[in-house]
Amino acid sequence: MGQFQKAPITNIVEDATFDFTMGDADIGIAKLQAALAEQPEAFEAWHALCEIFYSEKRFDEALEAAEKAHALRPDDLFVNTSLSRIWLEKGSKEQAEHFGAQARMASWKEQLTNPDASQSQTDLA
């Protein structure tokens, strides 16, 4: 575990994501889990772990990681979207719709608090 705790969490998330994209999901997962053992409040690492587990169709583990991320940032657009997707895969339309609605509200809040960014996104489309 030692080598993972020394790097900033963003570097670990990037390294783990790279490992996953190169076909080494287990290595990416191990890096994230080691980092989270040292920094359990690292939202970005929980969310990355969730997404890797989801991509590997390990939905129970994805849900557990997503719930940890959600506890840290309940209004985050991306984690609410992830939870919606996971619950859909697990067969709970009700839960999927709940988190989908939370994601939409987070998106609307972002648009209201940062209208210039919303407009520039619209201009690019």
Say if CB 16 and CB 28 are below 8 A apart: yes
Going 25 to 47 to 107 to 104, the CA torsion angle's sign is positive
Radius of gyration (C-alpha) of the chain in whole angstroms: 16
How is residue 52 written in tokens? 């890797």
How is residue 33 written in tokens? 């889990």
Q: Exposed e or buried b for every residue in 14-26, given b needs 16+ CB within 10 A? A: ebbbebbeeeebe
pTM of the model: 0.79
Q: What is the pLDDT along the chain (125 residues), one digit of tens a residue?
A: 444 445 799 999 999 999 999 999 999 999 999 999 999 999 999 999 999 999 999 999 999 999 999 999 999 999 999 999 999 999 988 888 988 888 888 888 888 887 776 554 445 44
Domains and CATH numbers, the chain: 2-124 (1.25.40.10)
